Amino acid sequence: MKSLILLHGALGCSEQFNQLYSLLQDKYEVYKFDFSGHGKNSDNVEFTIDRFTDDLHAFIKDREIQSTAIFGYSMGGYVALNLALKHADHIQKIITFGTKFDWNPEVAENEIRKLDPKKISEKVPAFAQRLAELHGEARWQTVVRNTADMMNGLGNGSGLTDFDFRQIKTPVLICRGELDSMVTRSESEHVAALIENGNYMEISGFKHPIEAIDHNQLAGMITNWI
């Protein structure tokens, strides 16, 4: 049975994949886990793509997974590609969904503006409550602040470059929801074209949030490609 690892996005955790996990577990040996500082992983660390890549690499090594496909949502897709750049030996294929690639100071500043815990609590209390459910009442604000710091780093040069993407040989499917307001079609197609075995797919009717899309359709797309 093929292995498949599900990687969550920024501000998220593996719990968000419970339905997708159930839909795929009869077809694959499915794994999911929380990146450091997210969900049930309470490690107090600096959030960086390299740190989360180390998390993923350690997860694969610890479970002695010889070969696996990876589905990475948003930040999870970025982490998967970073692993393919550094340790491609265990990776069969990668699917990214809703992954943002175009990072610069202006983009980072725009995203960071949305990551003020106090403003989230005041203006979007339902979102604050959901973050508390995912990460715990005592920790969700730290997750938000650490994520803002990570995005600041991405916007100021710590992210993957065009040169990096050209070095990736793993087959990659870059997916974007048609209604995604965070990720553009042009940036997604650009990266898919840079990767030697890269492909692009636009999914009609899909938005950015993983909890706002049809997981049955998503599971079908994953199955068809890997």
How confident is the model at residue 17, as a pLDDT? 94
State how far the Cα of 158 lies from the Cα of 111, in Å rounded to an integer: 16
**3-state secondary structure (DSSP) of residue 71:** strand
Which residues is 30 bridged to in the sheet? 4
The phi, psi pair for 22, rounded to 5°, reads -65, -35
Q: Which tokens go with 87?
A: 């340790």
Mean pLDDT value of segment 48-52: 96
- pLDDT band for 44, please (50, 70, 90 cuts): confident
- What is 3-102+160-225's CATH topology? Rossmann fold (3.40.50)
pLDDT of residue 59: 96
Q: Give pLDDT, residue 129.
A: 94
Kindly report, residue by residue over 180-206, the tens digit of the pLDDT.
999 999 999 999 999 999 999 999 999
Q: Does the structure show a pLDDT above 90 at 1? A: no
Q: What is the rounded CA–CA span in Å between residue 108 and residue 155?
A: 5
Asked whether residue 157 carries a pLDDT value surpassing 90, the answer given is: no
Confidence of residue 64 (pLDDT cuts 50, 70, 90): very high
